[in-house]
Copies of this chain bind each other. A is one copy, B any other.
Amino acid sequence: MIRVRKFDGSLEAYNRKKIVAFCLRMGASKGEAKAIADRVEGRLYDKIQTKNILQMARRYVARYQPKVRLRRDLRSAISLLRSKPDWELFVQHLMSEIGFEVEGNRILRGKCVENEVDGVLRKNAQTIMLEVKHHAAPHTKTRLDIPREVRSIFEDLTEGFTLGYHDIDFTDALIVCNTKFTTEAKKYADCRGIGRLSWKDPAERGLEVIIEEEKFYPITILREVDKKMKTTLGDNGIIVLKQIIDADLKKLAAKTGIREERLEGLERNARKLLVG
């Protein structure tokens, strides 16, 4: 049996489905994905690193779908966003895209202290306290301390509302994070009714599925967006590819100091990824 060494150093049995799913996510057709999985399997060896398998698959996908060369994988792309304000804004925009009415960060007086929330989401009868979390290292898990804190903030704010200290009647809390939660953190959040949206979590429709469905790619998905450009664009509120396509590039060039030709190149590649 071929075993695969994961990012955390642990071993697990090779799973063909994961490769096929990865190729589909990278834009391959079903037939292409299967053919790629066959080719990858011809080159496996025991204890091969996940990273190496994915690089291999990625290279094969690029032969069928050249535009793949333009992009980073989604997981790296979102981990490259800055925690503040990029990731916070990204999540707020994404939530709005999937049908929530979104209010940006607020400082609200709870029973005991002032609490900062990263957003207020509304849909039907729900009013959700949003807590956003970002890890620059995509394999750092969100631990128990985060849902514990959210629980205390939620308590403080709902009691503060009852006391008339602020006017938002929160019904729920939600943590949106770019990385996975630890098992204990999930258990605690489930037990306390705190919602989670993160990498492959919930399993049936995690963050990565929503982003792919909405093609709500961060600008960092383009390989040509380096640290400096990410910062300049982020400082000007440009965080997702769609914004580049919608922008008036002449004005954006004037505002950011990035050459207009470079922005045009960016827009061209953004279109290739989005339209595909």
Contacts and interface: CB of A to CB of B under 8 A. Distances in A.
Interface of A: 111-114, 144-145, 148-149, 151-153, 155-156, 184, 187-188, 191-192
Contacts of A153: 148
B144 A187 contact: no
Nearest to A155: B151
Copies in the complex: 2
Contacts of A114: 184
A152 B156 CA distance: 11
Contacts of A188: 112-113, 156
Contacts of A111: 191
A78 to B, nearest CB: 24
Contacts of A155: 151
18 contacts: A111-B191, A112-B188, A112-B192, A113-B144, A113-B184, A113-B187, A113-B188, A113-B191, A114-B184, A145-B145, A145-B149, A148-B148, A148-B149, A148-B152, A149-B149, A149-B152, A151-B152, A151-B155
A115 to B, nearest CB: 9
Contacts of A191: 111-113
Nearest to A147: B152
Contacts of A149: 145, 148-149, 152
A151 B156 CA distance: 11
Nearest to A148: B152
Given A111-B191, A148-B148, A149-B149, 19 more contacts: A112-B187, A112-B188, A112-B191, A112-B192, A113-B144, A113-B184, A113-B187, A113-B191, A114-B184, A145-B145, A145-B149, A148-B149, A148-B152, A148-B153, A149-B152, A151-B152, A151-B155, A152-B152, A156-B188
A86 B114 CA distance: 35
A190 to B, nearest CB: 8
